[in-house]
Chain A
Amino acid sequence: MFLLAITVSFIIQKIILAAIIIGGSLGIALYATWAERKVSAVMQDRRGPTRAGPFGLLQPLADGVKMFMKEEIIPMFSNKFLFVLGPSLAMVVALMSSAVIPWGPDMKFADGTSFSLQVADINIGMLYVFGVVSLGVYGVMLGAWASNNKFSLLSGLRAAAQAISYELALGLSMISLVMMTGSLSLNDIVSQQHGFWDGNWFSWNVFKQPLAFLIFLVCSFAELNRAPFDLAECESELIGGYHTEYSSLKLGFYLFAEYISMFITSVIISTLFFGGYNFPGMDALANMVPAPLFSIICILVLLAKAIGFILFFMFIRWTIPRFRYDQLMNLGWKSLIPLALINMLITGAVILYFNK
């Protein structure tokens, strides 16, 4: 039945949507690098990039040109295929999880046609996200392994161990959320968080599952390899970490993939816990403006939430020092996983109590 619904126009629609989403993600990631430099500058009483364009807004382009013009070096004893595969995989995987995110409610046009703002509404959206996020570490690992450099290798080991440890807590924290929503589809999870107040309690999941949100947030820092858990690129011990041997565009891919994953992760956190494209008073607004415009407003709301999280990631990076490796492992295995399990237990008990 499902296969029959696929028509040429459907495919074209999805391709256009995917192209827009990828382009948008790249653009936001581009300006995330600019924002990171500005945020760090503001926090250290500096000015940050000011030379390229007004407020340094052309700085990302200048950075891109710089990366592009650099000499491209592939170390002699490296595994050439894996060496190139590493950064490509990092980039592709970073973009892949954007496919299941519902960016807004369906765009309904005056002539009755509607246009879904989700590339793929699969009923296991959450599992898909987890699968893709776990693949993310392969980009780092392959690049590190193929470099044939002991510092890169150590960094790859660290990244892999860290990702595996924190994925557990991440998954466990999600289980309690899924127990509550009863669905793995991101579309369902978002529509359950409709508006802001459902008559008895806040409808956003962050107010129903604050502990799960906290665990998810901490784990996403670790999954993103970002400070304070950026042990994989710990300069003081590992030179540049897994990208020590990389130069030119391939280095740019690694650095850029980090910002894309940061954006996608921010969108996923907003979708799962902060109501996705829902906002207070959306029903009132839906009656006042035409439907396509309403969809666009919803997209902007989701983007605003995501940008808020990106800024939060940056504030944290420039605030706290890096964790030590044993502290990282202690936090993951001895604190976050038990906490997530307890959260699961409490959620189960509460659900049982209310359903009786």
Chain B
Amino acid sequence: MSFTISDKSKLVDRRPMTFKDKIYLPAILGGLKVTLGHIFKKKATINYPEVKREFSSTFRGLHILNKDEENRERCTACGLCALSCPAEAITMESAERKPGEEHLYREEKYAAKYEINMLRCIFCGLCEEACPKDAIYLTQTFAPANYDRKGFIYKKEDLLIPNK
């Protein structure tokens, strides 16, 4: 007895080989037609380090910490990103802005320490959505390989967008 879940199953052909099958040559020529046809096909491989394949426009890669128009950090260490993070990859410590530091931090509170563990991160983008200050964004790059786990914990210096 047998039943099929889908119509995709295909019965194995167990009929005895015909004379055409037994001399193999037609099948071999058919195979050669397929493989030789591939000579003229576009190659699936690209020359990776020289040529890079474009990511999708919705690709979520490494994070950056954004700055405002006057090159001041936007992050206020509110902790919403850490709270929203399902992988608990983000930790931070906040600090109070001192007088004379107004050109560095936009608001009175800022992140003294901001770390993302890229091994824990699942690149879901929830931190980006949770951020009320437009401070964290996911970019189109991915984390490069490293020799030890420590190298995957990205500090604030690694994450901050360079000065404009």
Listed in ascending order, the chain A residues whose CB lies under 8 Å from chain B are 42-47, 50, 315-316, 318-320, 331, 335
Inter-chain contacts of B24 with A (CB < 8 A): 331
Q: Nearest chain B CB to A103's CB is how many angstroms away?
A: 30
Question: Whose C-beta in chain B lies nearest to the C-beta of A312?
Answer: B32
Size bracket of the B interface: 10 to 19
Residue of A nearest to B31 (CB): A319
Q: Which of A47, A315, A319, A331 has the most CB of B within 10 A?
A: A319
Give B112-144 interface residues, CB cut-off 8 Å to A.
Answer: none
Docked Cα-Cα span, A44 to B31, in Å, equals: 13
Residues of A within 8 A of B34 (CB): 319
Among residues of A, the one whose C-beta sits closest to the C-beta of B30 is: A319
For A50, list chain B residues within 8 Å (CB). 47
- In the complex, which residues of chain B have a beta carbon less than 8 angstroms from the beta carbon of A318? 35
Q: Which 4 A-B pairs have the closest CB atoms?
A: A319-B31, A45-B44, A319-B35, A43-B35
Contact among B23, B38, B42 with A43 in the assembled complex (CB-CB below 8 Å): B38
A47 contacts B47, CB within 8 Å? yes
| Chain A residue at smallest Cβ distance from B27 | A320
Q: Of A46, A315, A331, which contacts B45 at CB under 8 A?
A: A46
Report if B39 contacts A (CB, 8 A): yes
In the complex, A328→B120 CA distance in Å?
A: 54
Decide: A46 and B28 in contact? CB cutoff 8 A: no
* Cβ B39 vs Cβ A43 within 8 A: yes
Shortest CB–CB separation between residue A194 and chain B, in angstroms? 30
When the two chains form their complex, are residues B28 and A316 in contact, meaning their CB atoms are under 8 A apart?
A: yes
**B45 contacts A319, CB within 8 Å?**
no
Q: How far is the CA of A319 from the CA of B28 in the complex (A)?
A: 8
Of chain A, the residue at the smallest CB distance from B42 is A45
Which chain B residue lies CB-closest to A334? B22
**New A-B contacts (8) at CB < 8 Å, excluding given A319-B32, A319-B34:** A42-B38, A43-B38, A44-B38, A46-B45, A318-B35, A319-B31, A320-B27, A320-B28
A315 touching B43, Cβ below 8 Å:
no
* B41 at the binding interface (Cβ < 8 Å): yes
Say yes or no: A45 contacts B32, CB within 8 Å: no
Which chain B residues lie closer than 8 Å to A320 at the CB level?
A: 27-28, 31
Q: Find out whether the CB atom of A42 lies under 8 angstroms from the CB atom of B32.
A: no
Please give, as numbers and ranges, the residues of chain A lying within 8 Å of B12 by CB-CB distance: none
In the assembled complex, the Cα of A50 lies from the Cα of B45 at a distance in Å of: 12
Report B-chain residues with C-beta under 8 Å of the C-beta of A331. 24
Does B145 sit at the interface, judged by CB under 8 A?
Answer: no
Shortest Cβ distance from residue B38 to the other chain A in the assembled complex, whole angstroms: 5
Cβ contacts A to B, 20 pairs, < 8 Å: A42-B38, A43-B35, A44-B38, A45-B38, A45-B41, A45-B44, A45-B45, A46-B44, A46-B45, A47-B43, A315-B32, A315-B36, A316-B28, A318-B35, A319-B28, A319-B32, A319-B35, A331-B24, A335-B22, A335-B23
What CA separation (Å) do A43 and B39 show in the bound complex?
Answer: 6
Residue of A nearest to B46 (CB): A47
Q: Is the CB of A47 within 8 A of B45?
A: yes
In the assembled complex, the Cα of A46 lies from the Cα of B38 at a distance in Å of 10
Q: Are A45 and B28 in contact (CB under 8 A)?
A: no
- Chain B 38-72 against A: per-residue CB contact (8 Å), 1 yes, 0 no? 11011111010000000000000000000000000
Q: Which residues of A contact B22 (CB under 8 A)?
A: 335
Q: Closest residue of chain A to B29, judged by CB?
A: A319
> Bound complex: CA of A74 vs CA of B142, how far in Å?
45
Instruction: Among B35, B36, B43, point to the contact of A46 (Cβ < 8 A).
Output: B43
Cα–Cα, bound, A44→B27 (Å): 19
**Residues of chain A lying within 8 A (CB to CB) of residue B39:** 42-43
- Alpha-carbon distance A320/B32, docked complex (angstroms): 8
Residues on A with beta carbons closer than 8 Å to the beta carbon of B42: 45
Whether the pair B32, A316 counts as a contact (CB closer than 8 A) is: yes
Per the bound structure, the CA–CA distance linking A203 and B41 in Å amounts to 38
A253 to chain B, nearest CB (A): 30
A46 and chain B: residue at smallest CB distance: B45
Closest Cβ of chain B to A14, distance in Å, is 41
User: In whole angstroms, how far apart are the Cα atoms of A338 and B130 in the complex?
Assistant: 80
Bound-state Cα–Cα, A47 to B47, Å: 8
Closest-CB distance, A335 to chain B (whole angstroms): 8
The smallest beta-carbon distance between B67 and chain A, in angstroms, is 40
